[in-house]
Amino acid sequence: MILFVVLTPSQTSLISFLEKVGLAIVFILCCIIGISFTIRPNWIRHYFPKTKNLEKNIQLDFKRSFQGHHPDCLIFKNHTIQLRGKTWCAGCLGLFIGLCSAIVIMILYLITDIQLTNVMSLLFLIFGLFTLAVVFIEILHRSRHAIVHVFINSLMPVSFFLITIAVSSITGEFIYGFFSILMCFLWLDTRIHFSKSRHRILCTECSESCKMFTVPI
């Protein structure tokens, strides 16, 4: 991504206000979709046939219940957090907070019409990519404190904002900012796969017999 930005020629070096508005609209809509998945992760599956996972669901329903998208066992206790009498997935709660924050920051960036210098944009890009690396490392080597997990996950959408505006500011083009948003979806999917992999490892090492995350889909 850094090489992509550095080697991309920019004729104006400034993205127009209309392009900023278009980029902000796309970014905010993507954040809203992301928020819906943090609240109901599997809502999109209601629009697809359920026969593929029917056998798996029948096998697992009687073993353990789920709270905050995780089995209610001791090994996953620090993956959830209690908030106002409700159990939340710590990762989803962090992403929810981060996505809401990213929307607010994007709106402020738009209405203030700030023009970033190339040096500032490059620093934002590096910091955004560094934050992504921290998020991925924390996913693979989970902290024992759910609050830490919430905080680090809340930084991920903010890093998406920093990367998007940095790329669009340096290149002066809407299309490159839009490409950055597409990359953010891939990074988010990477986070999901890392999380699933970590869940399977914990489930495999657990002495309990339920093995909720080791049954193949």
pTM of the model: 0.82
Q: Give the per-residue pLDDT at 67.
A: 62
Buried b (16+ CB within 10 A) or exposed e, 74-109: eebebbbbeeeeeebbbbbbbbbbbbbbbbeebeeb
Of the pLDDT bands very low, low, confident and very high (cuts 50, 70, 90), residue 68 is low
Query: Between these two residues, 38 and 134, which has the higher pLDDT value?
Result: 134
Q: What percentage of the chain carries pLDDT values higher than 90?
A: 35
pLDDT above 50 (res 22): yes
Query: Quick one: pLDDT at residue 58?
Result: 40
pLDDT in tens, 166-214: 998 888 888 889 999 999 999 999 998 888 888 787 777 776 666 666 6
* Among 159, 158, 141, 151, CA closest to 198: 141
pLDDT one-digit tens code per residue, 32-42: 999 988 887 76
Residue 81 forms beta bridges with which residues? Answer: 88
**Under a CB-based contact definition with an 8 Å cutoff, are residues 95 and 153 in contact?**
yes
pLDDT of residue 61: 47
Residue written as tokens 């090492």? 205
% pLDDT > 70, the chain: 76
Q: Please answer whether residues 80 and 90 qualify as being in contact, where contact means their C-beta atoms are separated by less than 8 angstroms.
A: yes
3-state secondary structure 107-128: HHHHHHCCCCCHHHHHHHHHHH
- CA distances to 47, 52, 79, 179, 200 from 216, rounded to whole Å, are 22, 11, 22, 33, 10
pLDDT of 50 above 60: no
**Confidence (pLDDT) at 83:** 73
- Mean per-residue pLDDT over the chain, rounded: 80
